Amino acid sequence: MRYSELSEKNYRRICFINWSLTLPMMVLFAWPYYLVATWSGVSAPAAYLGAFVFSLPFMMTVLHGHVTMALGALHRHHYYEWLARYPMSIGFMFHPIMFRTRFRVSLVLSACIFLVISYLSGW
């Protein structure tokens, strides 16, 4: 039997690796925002919220790159189609727009705008 990258077993392996990398990458990409927010005197809840939003696009970019390296650019859409079939379990919070560059850039910009608004309002 020949091994195929486009098998459900491989999709599950990629999904497991992506979910296990999510939290460490969130922490890795969130701390610079949190540091800037605390240095500027923004309240802790606003700093945590902004850091979460700020870290999402960077995390999604790395995970998207992992899928691309595992399957190839021509076949990664098969993985995302498979993931979209399980919205209430392993495909939790997956939507095709999440891996669009415009969406990720808008998240970074909205986190920066939120930081400025939080700083100016004293929240």
Q: Kindly list the distances between the CA atom of residue 67 and the CA atoms of 29, 31, 76, 95, in Å, as whole numbers in the listed order.
A: 19, 25, 6, 15
pLDDT band (50, 70, 90) for residue 28: very high
Instruction: Report helix, strand or coil for 105.
Output: helix
- For a pLDDT cut of 90, what percent of the chain falls above it? 59
The token duo for 69 is 């390296």
pLDDT digits (tens, 9 = 90+) for 47-99: 999 999 999 999 999 999 999 998 888 888 888 888 888 877 777 777 778 88
Q: Is the pLDDT of residue 119 over 70?
A: yes
Whether 2 has a pLDDT exceeding 60, the answer reads no
Is pLDDT above 50 for 1?
A: no
